[in-house]
Structures are given as structure tokens and as C-alpha cells.
């Protein structure tokens, strides 16, 4: 079936075609689709979900379906496991500070190659294979996130986003195009920056006043000390968990991105389990959800 023919499918037909395993949820999906129609959803994609072929294909189907029912989707991807693997292969020493990869010029070259040239294209190709109208924004050929050195450059070329080309993104979304963004920033001195993907996704969500920010994780969501899922989390409780060490490592920038995003304009944030197929649809189109809902208060 051609892409043009797919456009005439009803919502029911689209659900059946792209989410056959979620049939028991289809009858209740209409209200959720109506809720998010013409609204912006920013999805951070990476980690384990980006290393398994079946999960990549499932994610691509999810994104294509959301776009086809009229939801404005932006994908921001990371690539931590792939970068780490390449650094080990090249025997380049790698270290982190509070979940952020210290980025030398040598490491930055690896980051740009993995994110912009390999993973961005792979995600783009998979979404297009499902009939989604996707556009690559890889941070090298097209730059939309202006950034500055974090901590005055103490972490090398790790960037903090300062400005977003909102006009360009809104133009793409208004045409039904899905931006697929590598979190590589730039400045006026021709520097490139490795921006944490959660931070970049949060910045984009808050700048565009997104209806929802979804951060795909490698766990069921935010877990307590007994490794049990915390269904909802507010600001006070979250930073209490960080102080106690219950929330640590790469989860810290995720949590900080969530609250920054809520404070600055996004309507809602969720940390969801990216290891499960159709996690994005479960979170957006069902009452059940797929992880931890982050609340302002």
C-alpha cells in the first residue's frame, strides 16, 4: 500500500494496522487521540530500546501511527550504549560526572559520528519505512539548538542548550513532518556540543510548550529502594530520593530535565519503560500508562 493510500485509512484502521497487539485498547483510544490531536509530544528515545531491532521497529510504528492520527511528534534521540561501545573499541578513556559524559575533542568526534551519522539515519529510515514523514535534524548539516559550555567547560564539550529554532520546528510540524533530532548543539565560535539527550528533549518540550514529554528509560520508570515502581513523583519527593541516593547516575539528569520542563511550560512529563514494545502508545493512548508520571507538586 502506498503512503498516499494509507492517508485515507480511518483511525480504527490505522490502529489495527500499526498496533495490532493493542487491540483490547483500541475502543478506548479515541478519547486519547482527540486529547492529543494537533498537540506537540516530545519523545526522548535511546538506551536499550535503540539497541534491539524489534524495539526499534516497534518504536517506528508507534511514531508513524501517532503522526497519522494528527499528533505532532518530535523525536530526540541519544546513543549512550553505542557511544560507550565505540569508545571501548578505540580504547578511549571515558568518565562521567552526575550522569553526563565528560567530552574531549576526541570523544566529541565519536559522539557526532554515532549520533548524527549513524543513529539519526537509522531511526529516520525505520520511521519512513512505516510510512511516517520524517526529517533528519542531525546537529551537523542542520543546527537548531544553540548551546554554551556547561560548568564553564570543566566537562569539555558538554553543552547546555540556550536557544532553539522554534520557527523551523513549528513549520515542520504544521506540515505533518516528524523531526528526528540528534542532541548536538552549536555556538557562534563554530564549537559543537554534546548535549545530554534528556536535557535536550526537556529544553525542546518547554520551549514549544509541549503537551507531553516522554523519556524512554531502561527501567520500568523511577524505582524506590526496594526496586518497586513509583507511579507518581513530585518535586519534593524526587529530590529527597536524589539526596538519599535512591535516584542516581543517569536518572539524575532525567529527573532534573522533567522538573525544569514542567516549570518552564510543558504540560506533563512521564518516564516510561523503553524496553517494552509499544510503550509510547501504552502511555499516550491507554489509562494504564507505561511508567512514572512526574508532577510539579
Question: What is d(CA 131, CA 62) in angstroms, rounded to the nearest whole number?
Answer: 11
Q: Per-residue confidence at 4, pLDDT binned at 50, 70, 90?
A: very low
Domains of the chain (ranges; CATH) run: 39-294 (3.40.1160.10)
Q: How many CA atoms lie within 13 A of 98 on its CB side?
A: 13
Which cell numbers hold the place of 173? 510540524
Mean pLDDT of the region 267-286: 92
Look at residue 226 in the predicted model and tell me its pLDDT.
87
C-alpha cell recorded at residue 125:
529510515
Helix, coil or strand: residue 178: strand
Rounded CA-CA distance 99/275 in Å is: 20
pLDDT tens, position by position, 203-257: 999 999 999 999 998 888 888 888 888 888 998 999 999 999 988 887 887 788 7
d(CA 33, CA 255): 27
Residues near 30 by beta carbon (within 8 Å), at least 6 away in sequence: 11
> Tens digits of per-residue pLDDT, 97-147?
887 899 999 999 999 999 999 999 999 999 999 999 999 999 999 999 999
The dihedral region occupied by 134, where left means phi > 0, alpha psi between -120 and 50, and beta the remainder, is beta
Residue 213 Cα to chain centre, angstroms: 8
pLDDT tens digit sequence for 174-200: 999 999 999 999 999 999 999 999 899
Q: Name the pTM for this structure.
A: 0.90
Cβ partners under 8 Å of residue 24, min gap 6? none
* Residue 7, pLDDT score: 53
User: Residue range 277-291: average pLDDT?
Assistant: 91
Q: In the β-sheet with 145-149, what is the strand arrangement from edge to edge?
A: 159-164, 145-149, 184-186, 192-194
Of 163, 179, 166, 168, whose CA–CA distance to 72 is shortest?
Answer: 179
Amino acid at each position: 500500500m502506498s503512503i498516499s493510500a494509507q492517508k485515507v485509512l480511518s483511525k480504527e484502521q490505522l490502529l489495527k494496522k500499526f498496533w495490532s497487539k493493542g487491540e483490547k485498547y483500541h475502543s478506548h483510544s479515541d478519547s486519547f487521540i482527540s486529547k492529543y490531536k494537533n498537540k506537540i509530544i516530545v519523545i526522548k528515545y535511546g538506551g536499550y530500546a535503540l539497541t534491539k531491532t524489534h524495539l526499534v521497529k516497534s518504536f517506528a510504528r508507534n511514531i508513524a501511527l501517532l503522526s497519522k492520527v494528527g499528533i505532532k511528534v518530535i523525536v530526540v534521540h541519544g546513543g549512550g550504549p553505542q557511544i560507550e561501545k565505540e569508545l571501548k573499541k578505540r580504547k578511549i578513556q571515558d568518565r562521567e560526572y552526575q550522569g553526563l559524559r565528560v567530552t574531549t575533542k576526541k570523544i566529541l568526534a565519536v559522539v557526532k559520528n554515532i549520533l548524527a551519522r549513524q543513529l539519526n539515519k537509522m531511526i529516520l529510515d525505520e520511521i519512513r519505512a512505516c510510512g511516517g514523514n520524517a526529517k533528519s535534524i542531525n546537529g551537523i548539516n542542520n543546527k537548531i539548538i544553540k548551546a554554551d559550555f556547561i560548568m564553564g567547560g570543566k566537562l569539555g564539550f558538554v553543552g547546555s542548550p540556550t536557544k532553539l529554532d522554534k520557527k523551523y520546528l513549528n513549520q515542520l510540524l504544521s506540515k505533518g513532518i516528524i523531526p528526528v533530532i540528534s542532541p548536538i548543539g552549536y555556538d557562534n565560535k563554530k564549537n559543537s556540543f554534546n548535549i545530554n539527550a534528556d536535557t535536550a528533549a526537556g529544553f525542546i518540550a518547554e520551549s514549544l510548550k509541549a503537551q507531553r514529554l516522554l523519556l524512554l528509560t531502561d527501567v520500568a520508570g523511577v524505582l524506590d529502594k526496594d526496586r518497586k515502581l513509583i507511579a507518581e513523583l513530585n518535586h519534593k519527593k524526587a529530590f529527597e530520593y536524589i539526596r538519599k541516593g535512591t535516584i542516581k547516575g543517569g536518572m539524575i539528569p532525567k529527573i532534573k530535565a522533567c522538573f525544569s520542563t514542567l516549570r518552564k511550560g510543558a504540560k506533563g512529563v512521564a518516564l516510561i519503560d523503553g524496553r517494552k514494545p509499544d510503550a509510547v502508545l501504552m502511555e499516550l493512548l491507554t489509562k494504564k500508562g507505561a511508567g512514572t508520571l512526574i508532577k510539579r507538586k
